Amino acid sequence: MVRNHFFVGVLCVTVLLALTTIAQASGTVTFQIEVLPGLSVSSPDLLVFDPVAPGQSDHQDLNITVWSNVTWELSVQAVGYDVEGGLQGTIDVATPGGWVELTNESSVIRENQSPTGPTGVTLLTPFRFIGSYEDVPGTYSFQVEFTVVAAL
């Protein structure tokens, strides 16, 4: 009789283990994630130069912030600067290689920059305006566009 109870007990434990094993199942899923290049640039909305007479110059600094998860480069171009009857004086932007004239064609001002991480990097970018005798007195305005792209 003890033997029968022992076998019944072993049988019950075996059945419970089998049911527990049968009641559980597992599977695996492979996740595939593609991370794309992320690039962003921010700058103030307005940069005001002091009044300048012909032949004089004024320097103003602009803080430009870039965020990127890849190696990047930054370019700049003027929009509406050299239109007929517009401002004739020279506007230059400082680059690591020296001053470069700002034109309506894009100029690279930073090359092969490292990824910035989530905090970004702020670049102090000096600009200078040199007045011309061809400029009619008045107040002029135009836009400057900054573009950040993944470096090749």
Residue stretches of the chain with pLDDT short of 70: 1-23, 82-85
Q: What are the Cα distances from residue 14, in Å, to 18, 24, 26, 88, 116?
A: 6, 16, 21, 94, 60
- Would you state the pLDDT for residue 25? 80
Domain ranges of the chain: 39-150
Backbone φ and ψ for 144, nearest 5 degrees, come out as -120, 130
Q: What are the Cα distances from residue 61, in Å, to 12, 44, 46, 84, 119?
A: 83, 11, 11, 27, 21
- Would you state the pLDDT for residue 22? 61
- Would you state the pLDDT for residue 112? 96
- Would you state the pLDDT for residue 111? 96
In DSSP notation, 1-57 reads -HHHHHHHHHHHHHHHHHHHHHH-----------PPP-EEEE--S---PPP--TT-E
Give CATH superfamily name and number for 39-150. Fimbrial-type adhesion domain (2.60.40.1090)
